[in-house]
Amino acid sequence: SEEKSLNFLEEIIEKDIADGIHGGRVLTRFPPEPNGYLHIGHASSICLNFGLAKKYKGLCNLRFDDTNPVTEETEYVESIKADIKWLGFEWAAELYASDYFEQLYGFAVKLIEKGLAYVDDSSAEQMAAEKGDIGVPGKESIYRSRSVAENLQLFADMRAGKYPDGAKVLRARIDMAHPNLLLRDPIIYRIKHAHHHRTGDQWCLYPMYDFAHGQSDSIEKITHSICTLEFIHHRPLYDWFIEQLEIFPSHQYEFARRSVSYMITSKRKLLQLVNDKYVSGWDDPRMPTISGMRRRGYPAAAIRKFCDTIGVGKRENLVDITVLEFCVREELNKTAQRRMAVLDPVKVVITNYPEGKTEQLNADNNTEDEHAGTRSISFGRELYIEREDFMEEPVKKYFRLGPGLSVRLKHAYIITCNEIVKDADGNITELHCTYIPESKSGSDTSGVHVKGVIHWVHAADAVKATVRMYDRLFTVEDPANAEGDFKDHINTSSLSVLDQVWVEPALLQASENESFQFLRKGYFSLDRDSQPGHLVFNQTVGLKDTFAK
């Protein structure tokens, strides 16, 4: 097989191992903020961090970056863990940045003691005005020269809850003329009298991202801290804290965020879709969340394959959603059992088939999988076929059913249509056909050849089901960057519910989330909304890419 070339992160890691950096040890981490459900972009980061650890015989931590009490919830923590496991990865340790609050507070005290941090009483507006701009040096705050002793006291008072939100902040004392604006005395602690999902009301003081992330990496002795490109300008600050605090030298590397066409990859925006009820929840099958894709029937292996296929890079681009769908189809083709389901039924009566008689036919479950075996399906006088497999006035080269035309019923017989029965409004209600008894699949001696093969179900034991058909959730390729609000581009007909579907009875044994290929119709997965006796399927993906019409 073709040897894949190394991506830039693999090159870095291989060099580090060769140079004996950190004794050749590799420890990565996946650091979600528990403020929403994971999406396809996170899947890419998960595959990358866990994948690199695995490839280089290292480990990967799961660290909840839970330093912002207001938006974080335990429900999200649980969903994140379930999603990572489902994707097929195991973390070395489950950790929480909030477990480091005491240690991080200690780090801040150490900076104060070194004269490298101070308490600032300025308003947010004042600080913004003093920040300066690119090429324009900032102005030092009047509080910048506070003594170490005063800063220590004030910081302790902040922790003790003596001040309201926003009254004071702790800032690193770096350089108000630094060319990188992020290093102009960044805020590292803010007062927030808010309940935290894990630490409760223990703290009213919370560290900023920049003061929590790198130090958390360092506490865990992470060797390669991989984040997305927008943090590249934060790296000097990441390094500055580690250097000043004289702690383990973790190193940050950046790669380009992943976005997929017709999808939104921002938890904040996805939360709006949930809150405003554009979708039924975070795991609505139209959502680009891992839980939505799982419920839709996307196999974990297909998502991993997709992430591997698109790889990592340093430039952001929109990955075509058809690449993801291709991976899904390819995986399901190998693994999904075949069944017959008629989504839009019309009844067929085989007039020369004895009334009351049924027979059992043999049907292969999946010819792509030698272990899939066969199942027995019943056949009788009354069947359902798809309405679209019949044409009253057939066009040229129409190889399915029409007046006087013959077609093969999959796994069964050749039938010919002789009569159309209509109701008072002219709608076709039944097709009366005859079958050729010698044309049974597998033992056909009829000598009759037909081009078309259609699927069907036996009316006598068919099971009623509901099928949810899905279209793209957005009408434009790049909803996040399209004109106006992203919600202006929601596809209002992304869901259509078919509730007159007939499926073969073998599907009564289907388990939740199990995937099937409905012959000629695509892939479908059993939804958790199914009740005993009432099956509900979600369309996963069609058999072919039919979107680019």
Nearest to 229 by CA among 207, 208, 262, 259: 259
Query: By CB under 6 A, which span of 96-104, 187-195, 258-266, 334-342 interacts with ligand ATP?
Result: 258-266
Contact in structure between 282 and 270 (CB atoms under 8 Å)? yes
- Residue 519: how many CA atoms within 13 Å on its side-chain side? 22
Is 267 annotated in the active site?
Answer: yes
In the set 10, 25, 33, 387, the catalytic residue is 33
> Cα(354)–Cα(366) distance, rounded to whole angstroms?
31
Question: For 445-460, b where at least 16 C-beta lie within 10 A, e where not — what string?
Answer: eeeeebeebbbbbbbe
Q: Strands 318-319 and 495-503: what pairing?
A: unpaired
469 pairs with which residues across the strands? 496
491 binding partner (options Mg ion, ligand ATP, none; Cβ < 5 to 8 Å by kind): none
Residue 87 or residue 340: which is nearer to ligand ATP going by CB? Answer: 87
Cβ atoms within 10 Å, residue 441? 16
How many residues at the interface with Mg ion, by CB under 5 A? 1
> Cα(317)–Cα(482) distance, rounded to whole angstroms?
15
In the set 29, 267, 294, 468, the catalytic residue is 267
Residue 33 or residue 364: which is nearer to Mg ion going by CB? Answer: 33
> Cα(42)–Cα(395) distance, rounded to whole angstroms?
49
Cβ atoms within 10 Å, residue 427? 10
| 33 lies in the binding site for ligand ATP (CB under 6 A) | yes
Is 3 annotated in the active site?
Answer: no
| 227 lies in the binding site for ligand ATP (CB under 6 A) | yes
Instruction: Kindly report the backbone phi and psi dihedral angles of residue 416, in degrees, each rounded to the nearest multiple of 5, phi listed first.
Output: -130, 135
Residue 45 or residue 494: which is nearer to ligand ATP going by CB? Answer: 45
Residue 117 or residue 227: which is nearer to ligand ATP going by CB? Answer: 227
> Cα(368)–Cα(348) distance, rounded to whole angstroms?
30
449 binding partner (options Mg ion, ligand ATP, none; Cβ < 5 to 8 Å by kind): none
- Residue 532: how many CA atoms within 13 Å on its side-chain side? 0
Is 316 annotated in the active site?
Answer: no
| 27 lies in the binding site for ligand ATP (CB under 6 A) | no
Residue 33 or residue 444: which is nearer to Mg ion going by CB? Answer: 33
Query: By CB under 5 A, which span of 27-35, 81-89, 244-252, 436-444 interacts with Mg ion?
Result: 27-35
Q: Torsion over CA of 399, 403, 408 and 409, rounded to 10 degrees?
A: 120
Which position has the token pair 């519910």?
Answer: 497
Tell me, residue by residue from 190 to 229, as one string, x for binding to Mg ion by CB under 5 A and - for no binding: ----------------------------------------
319 pairs with which residues across the strands? 260
> Which of 265, 365, 416, 538 is the binder for ligand ATP (CB under 6 A)?
265
CB of 268 to Mg ion, least distance (A): 6
Residue 224 or residue 267: which is nearer to ligand ATP going by CB? Answer: 267
In the set 131, 192, 221, 257, the catalytic residue is 257
Which position has the token pair 């999200």?
Answer: 76
> Which of 171, 251, 258, 305 is the binder for ligand ATP (CB under 6 A)?
258
Instruction: Kindly report the backbone phi and psi dihedral angles of residue 543, in degrees, each rounded to the nearest multiple of 5, phi listed first.
Output: -75, -30
Residue 42 or residue 305: which is nearer to ligand ATP going by CB? Answer: 42
Of all helices (H) and strands (E), which one includes residue 176? none
Tell me if residue 95 falls in helix, strand or coil: strand
| 267 lies in the binding site for ligand ATP (CB under 6 A) | yes
| 44 lies in the binding site for ligand ATP (CB under 6 A) | yes
> Which of 16, 26, 41, 295 is the binder for ligand ATP (CB under 6 A)?
41
> Cα(287)–Cα(280) distance, rounded to whole angstroms?
9
Cβ atoms within 10 Å, residue 440? 18
| 31 lies in the binding site for ligand ATP (CB under 6 A) | yes
Query: By CB under 5 A, which span of 25-33, 225-233, 284-292, 541-549 interacts with Mg ion?
Result: 25-33
Question: 147: which residues sit within 8 A by CB, 6+ positions away?
Answer: none
Query: By CB under 6 A, which span of 116-124, 266-274, 440-448, 490-498 interacts with ligand ATP?
Result: 266-274
CB of 487 to ligand ATP, least distance (A): 16
**60 burial type by CB count under 10 A (0-12 exposed, 13-18 middle, 19+ buried):** buried
| 32 lies in the binding site for ligand ATP (CB under 6 A) | yes
Question: For 78-100, b where at least 16 C-beta lie within 10 A, e where not — what string?
Answer: ebbbebbeebebebbeebbbbbb
CB of 87 to ligand ATP, least distance (A): 13
Nearest to 510 by CA among 460, 461, 463: 463
CB of 35 to Mg ion, least distance (A): 7
- Report the residue closest to Mg ion, judged by CB: 33
Query: By CB under 6 A, which span of 99-107, 144-152, 260-268, 534-542 interacts with ligand ATP?
Result: 260-268
Query: By CB under 6 A, which span of 113-121, 184-192, 251-259, 514-522 interacts with ligand ATP?
Result: 251-259
- Report the residue closest to ligand ATP, judged by CB: 41
CB of 31 to Mg ion, least distance (A): 7
291 binding partner (options ligand ATP, Mg ion, none; Cβ < 5 to 8 Å by kind): none
325 binding partner (options Mg ion, ligand ATP, none; Cβ < 5 to 8 Å by kind): none
Q: Strands 251-255 and 224-228: what pairing?
A: parallel
Structure tokens at 230: 């927008």
199 binding partner (options ligand ATP, Mg ion, none; Cβ < 5 to 8 Å by kind): none
Give me the amino acid identity at 511.
S
Alpha-carbon distances of 130 from 141, 165, 169, rounded to whole Å: 7, 21, 15
233 binding partner (options Mg ion, ligand ATP, none; Cβ < 5 to 8 Å by kind): none
Tell me if residue 278 falls in helix, strand or coil: coil
Catalytic sites, residue numbers: 33, 257, 267
Provide the binding-site residues for Mg ion, judged by CB under 5 A.
33
Provide the binding-site residues for ligand ATP, judged by CB under 6 A.
31-33, 41-42, 44-45, 65, 227-228, 257-259, 265-268
